């Protein structure tokens, strides 16, 4: 037997434990896992002694701006950044230009992204209410990874682009959708059996409170939080859960940032409803007290909240209420983020720093390495219908592998990031525990922080009979 790649002497993740052994790759698949050395020659051998061989990490929430604002980022750079950070697959968000609102645009997007992809990818479909209600089922049949609804956002009536700073009375704008139309979105997505994921912020609360804060003349971070309070997230999650309960729709709450949000999801899961949630490193590792040190780079929507919310999110991870951690990678240029807190855009780079930050949490004893495998591989793959092809190290599945050295230490430096834009809230953040190799379907894409492969990524579609989970309790 001639093996394409043999990874020797590593601690291999088995879904329940780590076993020291060897992993064999043939034709892009995991061909064997053995504690004993198997006969045969190897085209490539990696000695992973004292390192961990993990299922390839998945980032379910990435905005690569492609097509659209590619001066900020594009798929070539975002997938390089993903691979550099140990991520073997990303889910690309649908609010591109044009958006992924019908099958034609989905197919164009696959053609656009594939030649640039250093890692595998899924593509979200967008929900625009009556504008594309008839396209939901066809998008499902064509292979979107899930459906996203930007609750509370207005829509440009000509381009169908989202309006992030909508003001009542703006021309050429479809105002945020009424609840009846949202109900129909939930119902239509429910027919597909796929997830509808929501950006949960109540527009009416934000509009009213932000206006009051702006009129006061305050421009500090606390004023921003008063304009976008915890209540805005809480109310939208309540509405989403109520609709999902009534219709049986699989609901996923994106980038949960509040303790109230965690508790609402927890209660729905206890009642047995198919409600899941995710959070992001900026909510886990930062709180409002960090703004004075970090500054505008920290601005995201929903905004980073309070220490009590940070603690509630960690507890949500521990008890399984929060089953995914993702980056919400949303780059902007240095110039765009260098300005008044209230006028600069929300978002930052994140796909490259996602895994190192969580691995550092392992080093600090906040979570276990097994939990990292669940949060970044198993749970995403199971919830979105691509397990065990992705998210596992099962024999016969795609050889998507992240090799990690938990003894290695470094400092995150913005100038070293592989994205076009370098804006991050974690510049100069020390981490212990580093991905040292990223393997996608048997091809080594990253070694020791360096990209060593041309783009080889492919679009991945959910499988109808793939294992799915409601939550991880």
**pLDDT per position as a tens digit, 198-232:** 999 999 999 999 999 999 999 999 999 999 999 99
Can you read off the two tokens belonging to residue 140? Answer: 């499902």
Percentage of the chain beyond pLDDT 70 is 97
CA 266 to CA 268: how far, in whole Å? 6
Contact 278, 61 (CB under 8 A): yes
- State mean pLDDT over 412-441: 97
The pLDDT value recorded for residue 159 is 82
The pLDDT value recorded for residue 10 is 98
3-state secondary structure of 278: strand
Q: Which contiguous run of DSSP H or E holds residue 95? A: none
CA 433 to CA 119: how far, in whole Å? 21
| Entry field: residues in the chain | 473
Contact 232, 201 (CB under 8 A): yes
Radius of gyration of the chain (CA): 21
Check pLDDT > 50 for residue 335: yes
Q: 171 falls in which pLDDT band (50, 70, 90)? A: confident
- State mean pLDDT over 430-449: 98
Contact 82, 402 (CB under 8 A): no
The pLDDT value recorded for residue 451 is 98
The pLDDT value recorded for residue 469 is 43
The pLDDT value recorded for residue 156 is 87
- State mean pLDDT over 323-349: 95
Residue 312 CA to its chain's centroid (Å): 20
Can you read off the two tokens belonging to residue 95? Answer: 């609010």
Percentage of the chain beyond pLDDT 90 is 91
Q: 161 falls in which pLDDT band (50, 70, 90)? A: confident
Nearest CA among 275, 228, 262, 229 for reference residue 383 = 275
Q: 471 falls in which pLDDT band (50, 70, 90)? A: very low
Residue 229 CA to its chain's centroid (Å): 23
Helix (DSSP H) and strand (DSSP E) numbers for the chain: 15, 23
The pLDDT value recorded for residue 472 is 34
- State mean pLDDT over 303-329: 98
CA 23 to CA 335: how far, in whole Å? 46
Check pLDDT > 80 for residue 324: yes
The pLDDT value recorded for residue 172 is 84
Residue 378 per-residue DSSP state = I
CA 374 to CA 380: how far, in whole Å? 8
Q: 473 falls in which pLDDT band (50, 70, 90)? A: very low
CA 34 to CA 460: how far, in whole Å? 28
Residue 325 CA to its chain's centroid (Å): 7
Contact 61, 280 (CB under 8 A): yes
Check pLDDT > 80 for residue 466: no
Distances (CA, A) of 355 to 1, 86, 91, 280, 437: 35, 7, 16, 11, 12
Can you read off the two tokens belonging to residue 116? Answer: 């640039």
> What count of other Cβ atoms lies within 10 Å of the Cβ of residue 449?
14
Check pLDDT > 50 for residue 452: yes
Query: Which of these ranges, 103-112, 210-219, 412-421, has the smallest mean pLDDT?
Result: 210-219
CA 336 to CA 319: how far, in whole Å? 38
Nearest CA among 111, 115, 77, 113 for reference residue 93 = 113
Give the chain's mean pLDDT: 95
Contact 167, 136 (CB under 8 A): no
Continuous H helices in 71-178: 75-84, 103-113, 136-142
Q: What is the largest CA-CA distance in the chain?
A: 75
Q: Which domains does the chain have, with CATH numbers?
A: 2-47 (2.30.40.10), 52-451 (3.20.20.140)
List, for residues 384-411, the tens digit of each pLDDT value: 999 999 999 999 999 999 999 999 999 9
Query: Which of these ranges, 118-132, 165-179, 401-415, has the smallest mean pLDDT?
Result: 165-179
List, for residues 25-43, the tens digit of each pLDDT value: 999 999 999 999 999 999 9
- Looking up tokens 């329940």 gives 16
Angle at 311 between CA 305 and CA 316, to 5 degrees: 105
The pLDDT value recorded for residue 464 is 66
The pLDDT value recorded for residue 470 is 41
Between the two ends of the chain, the Cα-to-Cα distance in Å is 43
Can you read off the two tokens belonging to residue 214? Answer: 């702006």
Nearest CA among 274, 458, 469, 304 for reference residue 375 = 469
- State mean pLDDT over 77-101: 98
Distances (CA, A) of 151 to 110, 161, 237, 254, 364: 26, 14, 10, 11, 36
Angle at 295 between CA 423 and CA 83, to 5 degrees: 25
Contact 322, 309 (CB under 8 A): no
């Amino acid at each position: 037997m001639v093996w394409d790649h043999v990874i020797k002497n590593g601690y291999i993740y088995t879904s329940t434990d780590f076993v020291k052994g060897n992993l064999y790759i043939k034709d892009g698949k995991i061909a064997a896992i053995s504690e004993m050395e198997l006969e045969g020659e190897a085209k490539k051998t990696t000695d992973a002694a004292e390192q961990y061989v993990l299922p390839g990490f998945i980032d379910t929430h990435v905005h690569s701006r492609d097509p659209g604002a590619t001066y900020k980022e594009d798929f070539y750079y975002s997938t390089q950044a993903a691979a550099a950070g140990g991520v073997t697959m990303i889910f690309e968000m649908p609010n591109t230009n044009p958006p992924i609102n019908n099958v034609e645009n989905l197919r164009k997007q696959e053609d656009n992204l594939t030649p640039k992809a250093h890692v595998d990818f899924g593509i979200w479909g967008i929900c625009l209410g009556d504008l594309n209600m008839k396209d939901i089922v066809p998008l499902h049949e064509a292979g979107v990874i899930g459906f996203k609804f930007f609750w509370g956002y207005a829509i440009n009536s000509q381009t169908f682009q989202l309006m992030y700073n909508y003001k009542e009375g703006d021309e050429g704008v479809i105002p945020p959708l009424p609840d009846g139309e949202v109900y129909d979105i939930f119902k239509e997505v429910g027919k597909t059996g796929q997830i509808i994921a929501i950006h949960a912020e109540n527009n009416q609360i934000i509009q009213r409170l932000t206006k009051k804060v702006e009129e006061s003349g305050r421009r500090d971070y606390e004023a921003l939080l008063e304009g976008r309070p915890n209540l805005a997230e809480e109310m939208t999650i309540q509405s989403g859960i109520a609709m999902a309960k009534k219709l049986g729709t699989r609901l996923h709450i994106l980038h949960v940032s509040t303790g109230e949000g965690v508790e609402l999801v927890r209660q729905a899961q206890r009642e047995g409803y198919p409600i899941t949630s995710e959070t992001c490193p900026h909510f886990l590792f930062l709180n409002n007290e960090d703004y004075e040190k970090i500054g505008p780079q920290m601005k995201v929507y929903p905004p980073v909240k309070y220490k009590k919310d940070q603690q509630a999110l960690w507890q949500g991870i521990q008890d399984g209420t929060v089953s995914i951690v993702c980056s919400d990678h949303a780059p902007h240029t240095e110039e765009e983020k260098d300005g008044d807190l209230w006028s600069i855009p929300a978002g930052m780079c994140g796909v490259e720093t996602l895994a190192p930050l969580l691995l550092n949490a392992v080093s600090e004893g906040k979570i276990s390495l097994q939990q990292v495998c669940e949060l970044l591989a198993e749970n995403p793959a199971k919830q979105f219908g691509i397990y065990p092809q992705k998210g596992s190290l099962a024999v016969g599945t795609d050889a998507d592998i992240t090799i990690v050295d938990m003894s290695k230490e470094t400092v995150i430096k913005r100038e070293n990031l592989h994205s076009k834009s370098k804006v991050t809230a974690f510049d100069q953040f020390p981490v212990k525990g580093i991905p040292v190799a990223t393997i996608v379907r048997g091809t080594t894409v990253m070694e020791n922080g360096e990209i060593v492969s041309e783009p080889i990524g492919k679009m991945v579609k959910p499988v109808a009979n793939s294992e799915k989970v409601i939550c991880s309790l």
